[in-house]
Amino acid sequence: MAVHRGEFNSRLGFILAAAGSAVGLGNIWKFPFEVGAGGGAAFVVMYLIFCFLLCFPVMVAEIAIGRKTRRNPVGAFKALKTPNWSFIGKLGILSGFLILSFYNVVAAWAFGFFIEMLVGNFAIGSEFGNFIKDWLKVGIFGLLFMSMTAYIVSHGVQRGIERAAKFLMPSLIIIMVVLLIYSLSLEGAIDGLRFYLIPDFSKINGQVIYSALGQAFFSLSLGMGALITYGSYLNKNQDIVGSAVMITLMDVGIAFLAGLMLFPLVFSQGIEPNGGAGLVFVTLPGVFENLGPNMGVVVGSLFFLLLSFAALTSTVSLLEVPVSYVVDEHKVPRTRAVWLTAGLIFVIGIPSLLSQGANGFFSNFIEIIGLAREGMTDYSFLEFIQWVANDTFLPFGGMMISIYAAYIWKKENLTEELAHGNKNYAGSNMEKFINFAITYLAPSVLAVIFVLTVLNRFFGIDSIA
């Protein structure tokens, strides 16, 4: 391979970049409203089980395949002399296109809210419905956001992200802890905690399972080869399993913290937790207002600024996947590849942008194509893409990666790769667990849920009551 590939400078650099990819809108925007829609703590329990038992092993396999081959998700399967399996990478690239197309729209909301907080417009929370309908404004923020993403990716992942992630993530955690302490002091906080922490297992149904699984893959950036790509920049003496443990704990920890902070606020303000995609945006501005005009502006704008940065380290990883593919496989110069791909994805995101709000184009998309379900609050095109990409493609990709690592690449080769940087891996309980998970657990569980998800989401059949 003539193309020079960069490397992460340090173990911390890789962990931060991968955690930067994982931690984003998925943790702070999507996780809480999915918990709200999925009946609270029961959803949280399902989500945690999926993260640790299914997603963590898939994460290890993805990083190992990337480091072994030093290629993008399509090239990786060719490099292992199994070109027929490169469809996994191609599906991943398609998923990346779809996810980034809507993700950028939500990132634009976050960035827009940063500006609103900066000028002290706390009323924007209750006007969220109108805010997202203003497609011109959101579109301009979206264009700006996609351009920032493209700018960073064009300078190479290592230099671009390693530095940014180093101080942004700790700052985000600090501000969330401050908000958490405040939220716990409010009247009604206890009801929020009860909703969030005490599971009512009768709330578990098909919808909860499919969304919790999709959320687990989405939040950890798995199932589309993003971590194959990041793994390809990792050097041989770093410990993949140890890094994957850190990344998983960090991502799950931040999502959990976001919920812990938010639900007391939601309940103390009497907001409906089942309200859909606006939950964080509707809830927080009122809280910032109560902090007083000066504190409110400082804390509120800082929060949404940090949220925007968290989104940026995620959009970077989403864009990096197709870019590394066209750079490696089609020998397109990096800068051109970046701007063409980013432009195309922005265009694909236009329906998601226009689908917002009661009278937005496609706003009743799911209803129009006949897939609406009882109790649904969000019928938009943006929601539809999440069904397709997050809830269907990502777990399917994860299943294929497990099957590939266990049966095609073979466990011995996986173990050999993982032993680089971790002398004690071979023969450890961790090895036994990972091998069991990718050989039996993940393929079977993901296959069953995949079939049920497709039946439910696209044929309207509810197999689990």
Nearer to ligand TRP, 61 or 189 (CB): 61
Nearer to ligand TRP, 195 or 217 (CB): 217
Output the smallest distance, CB 139 to ligand TRP, in A.
21
Q: Does 244 bind ligand TRP (CB under 6 A)?
A: no
Nearer to ligand TRP, 189 or 246 (CB): 246
Output the smallest distance, CB 293 to ligand TRP, in A.
31
**Out of 15, 18, 22, 42, the residue judged to bind ligand TRP by CB under 6 A:** 22
Binding mask 59-98 for ligand TRP (x = CB under 6 A): ----------------------------------------
Quote the CA–CA distance of 69 and 378 in Å, as a whole number: 41
Closest-CA residue to 381 (of 396, 371, 394)? 371
Cβ distance 104 to 315 under 8 Å? yes
Output the smallest distance, CB 226 to ligand TRP, in A.
4
Q: Does 35 bind ligand TRP (CB under 6 A)?
A: no
Cβ distance 144 to 109 under 8 Å? no
The identity of residue 276, as a single letter, is G
> In this chain, which residue has its C-beta nearest to ligand TRP?
26
Q: Does 306 bind ligand TRP (CB under 6 A)?
A: no
Output the smallest distance, CB 313 to ligand TRP, in A.
8
Q: How many CB atoms lie within 10 A of CB 90?
A: 14
Residues 307-336 within binding reach of ligand TRP (CB under 6 A): 314, 317-318
Please list, in sequence order, all residues whose beta carbon lies within 8 angstroms of the beta carbon of residue 353, skipping any fewer than 6 positions away.
105, 108, 135, 138, 139, 142
Q: Does 27 bind ligand TRP (CB under 6 A)?
A: yes
Q: What angle do CA 148, 149, 150 make, to 5 degrees?
A: 90
Output the smallest distance, CB 8 to ligand TRP, in A.
17
Nearer to ligand TRP, 226 or 241 (CB): 226
Cβ distance 285 to 125 under 8 Å? yes
Output the smallest distance, CB 350 to ligand TRP, in A.
20
Q: Does 248 bind ligand TRP (CB under 6 A)?
A: no
Quote the CA–CA distance of 351 and 212 in Å, as a whole number: 25
Quote the CA–CA distance of 150 and 104 in Å, as a whole number: 12
Q: Does 246 bind ligand TRP (CB under 6 A)?
A: no
Residues 392-451 within binding reach of ligand TRP (CB under 6 A): 394
Q: Does 26 bind ligand TRP (CB under 6 A)?
A: yes
Quote the CA–CA distance of 77 and 82 in Å, as a whole number: 5
Nearer to ligand TRP, 239 or 391 (CB): 391
Phi, psi of 223, rounded to the nearest 5 degrees: 95, 0
Output the smallest distance, CB 215 to ligand TRP, in A.
9
Give the helix/strand (H/E) hosting 43. Answer: helix 41-49
Distances (CA, A) of 262 to 35, 396, 447: 11, 31, 34
For the chain, the straight-line distance linking the first and the last C-alpha, in angstroms and rounded, comes to: 52
Q: Does 21 bind ligand TRP (CB under 6 A)?
A: yes
Residues 366-385 within binding reach of ligand TRP (CB under 6 A): none
Nearer to ligand TRP, 21 or 301 (CB): 21
**Out of 99, 168, 305, 326, the residue judged to bind ligand TRP by CB under 6 A:** 99
Binding mask 207-226 for ligand TRP (x = CB under 6 A): -----------xx-x--x-x
Q: Angle between the 429-436 and 56-69 helix axes, to the nearest 10 degrees? A: 100
The SS3 of residue 232 is coil
Q: Does 24 bind ligand TRP (CB under 6 A)?
A: yes
C-alpha 424 chain-centroid distance:
31
User: Phi/psi zone of residue 372: left (φ > 0), alpha (ψ -120 to 50 degrees), beta?
Assistant: beta
Quote the tokens at residue 109.
């909301």
Q: How many CB atoms lie within 10 A of CB 181?
A: 10
With CB under 6 A, what is the number of residues at the site for ligand TRP? Answer: 16
Give residues in contact with ligand TRP (CB under 6 A): 21-22, 24-27, 99, 218-219, 221, 224, 226, 314, 317-318, 394
